[in-house]
Chain A
């Protein structure tokens, strides 16, 4: 047997791939579903927190900053293990899927809050003054004048962060969420063959490479500043 044949047998084994393809494709659906939920919930929550912080109510702002700092400082895997193994012992059992969703959503929200807040503070003071001088209230100015500009300014870093955190859905495999990685490692240990792992890697690249390339484009497009 040639070296190539051995390689193909181990990493591109058609028989093994065919047997485990359905379960791995099921994992794709889990990964995509989780990613979408996390992106939507995390960005909405983070933006809402950044807006709340704009009201500069001292105790509230402090809480928001502490939340954002803690979730930006801690490795998500630490929080995932804490949530998954710790919570049931205090009578609060969440499914692995729910734990992963909650932790990664909060993590993305923390980063989003920080990024959007930077955008809000970078919006020129004159924009606030112009809007307020026409009789618009604080909230109206925030929503219709400042936030649209802030969000535009931070789209590139926000996109990068969202991609990085949705990729972390792979951490779910550690606590048994049946995502791509989990299905692939299971298939690998049953079949004693590395093909499922290569397939999983290819699927991740297929899912995330377009996003990575799109974020590169976004960065180039948003490089201008008026």
Chain B
């Protein structure tokens, strides 16, 4: 972190936190991403909307190379993470990810779900890791559930622990892959509240989600994808009231009805 600030002071201009350029991805002969260009500036929250199958989750998963891009580049604070010889594990600890199905480790309690990477990746001592885990769990309002196992937590609580697991590593950007889609409707609110709080703390976030109201209220920009392309990229007010593309209008008409 301190190293990064130093270069900022010297260089003056900050590279965007995340930048995708000319990104392509195909599975066999099927092209799921074509010519994606997207920039997420520091502290921004960018929402990605689109029908299922439009490629939005694949794009998100390319950002930490859970999916391997077929062509194009991805820059994290100016560093090309697809370059040869790059240490992927070092990159990934700076990119937090939250999954649709939480993917908490069922054999570990909430605290150890958070501390595992702190201990094994950052090599922190037990006390320091516990301290960080407590503060991350506190941030998502679950410090009092630290010794509960995932099976003993509600879906909303599990997803909040998953967010704590990611933010404890102090990432420079957080990726959210439909974080509320697997939740019962009454549990969506608590997860959104946590995301709103992260936004207030100026966390940089790229969010794939269907929560339109939240997007409209909190996003800095909204991106719309169709057929593996980004067809619209606008501030939320403009996106929701006067979209420029026909496909965006059709999508909005269908989903906001």
Q: Do chains A and B touch in the complex (CB under 8 A)?
A: yes
Q: Which residues of A contact B (CB under 8 A)?
A: 124, 126-127, 129-137, 140, 144-145, 148-149, 152, 226
Asked, given contacts A135-B121, A137-B89, whether A130 binds B106 with beta carbons under 8 Å apart, the answer is no
Q: Is the CB of A135 within 8 A of B99?
A: no
The CA of A47 and the CA of B116, in the complex, are separated in Å by: 22
Interface centre among B94, B97, B106, B151 (most CB of A within 10 A): B106
- Residues in chain A near residue B117, CB distance under 8 A: 131, 134-136
Identify the B interface with A (CB < 8 A).
64, 66, 89-97, 99, 101, 103-107, 116-117, 120-121, 150-151, 162, 165-166, 169
Q: Which residues of the other chain, A, contact B120 by a CB distance below 8 angstroms?
A: 136, 140, 144
Q: Give, as a whole number of angstroms, the nearest-CB distance from B8 to chain A.
A: 23
Whether B116 and A145, one on each chain, are in contact in the complex, defined by CB atoms closer than 8 angstroms, is: yes
Q: Which of A129, A135, A226 contacts B103 (CB 8 A)?
A: A129
Q: Is the CB of A145 within 8 A of B105?
A: yes
Cα A149 to Cα B151 in complex, Å, equals 14
- 13 intermolecular pairs with C-beta atoms under 8 Å apart: A126-B99, A127-B103, A129-B66, A130-B103, A133-B166, A134-B92, A134-B165, A134-B166, A135-B91, A136-B117, A137-B89, A145-B116, A152-B107
Residue of B89, B107, B150 near A148 (CB, 8 A) is B107
State in angstroms the CA–CA spacing of A132 and B90 once bound together: 11
If A129-B66, A144-B120, A226-B151 touch, whether A135 touches B90 (CB-CB below 8 Å) is yes
CB neighbours of B66 from chain A (8 A): 129, 132-133
User: Number of contacts between A and B (CB, 8 Å)?
Assistant: 69
Alpha-carbon distance A148/B97, docked complex (angstroms) = 22
Interchain CA distance A134-B90 in the complex, whole Å = 9
Please state if A135 and B169 are interface contacts (CB–CB under 8 Å): yes
With CB as the reference atom, state the residue of chain A lying closest to B65. Answer: A132
Residues of B within 8 A of A144 (CB): 116, 120
State in angstroms the CA–CA spacing of A146 and B218 once bound together. Answer: 37
Q: Using Cβ atoms and an 8 Å threshold, which residues of chain B touch A152?
A: 107
Find the A residue at minimum CB distance from B95: A133
Min distance, Cβ B122 to any Cβ of chain A, angstroms: 8
Tell me which residues across on chain A come within 8 A of B64, comparing CB atoms.
133
Q: Which residue of B lies closest to A137 (CB)?
A: B89
| Residue with the greatest number of chain B CB neighbours at <10 A, chosen from A127, A135, A136, A152 | A135
B-side contacts of A133, CB under 8 Å:
64, 66, 92, 95-97, 166
A144→B119 CA distance, assembly (Å)? 11
* Cβ-defined contact, B103 with A126, below 8 A: yes
For B122, give the chain A residue with the smallest CB separation: A135
Least distance between A223 CB and chain B CB atoms (Å): 15
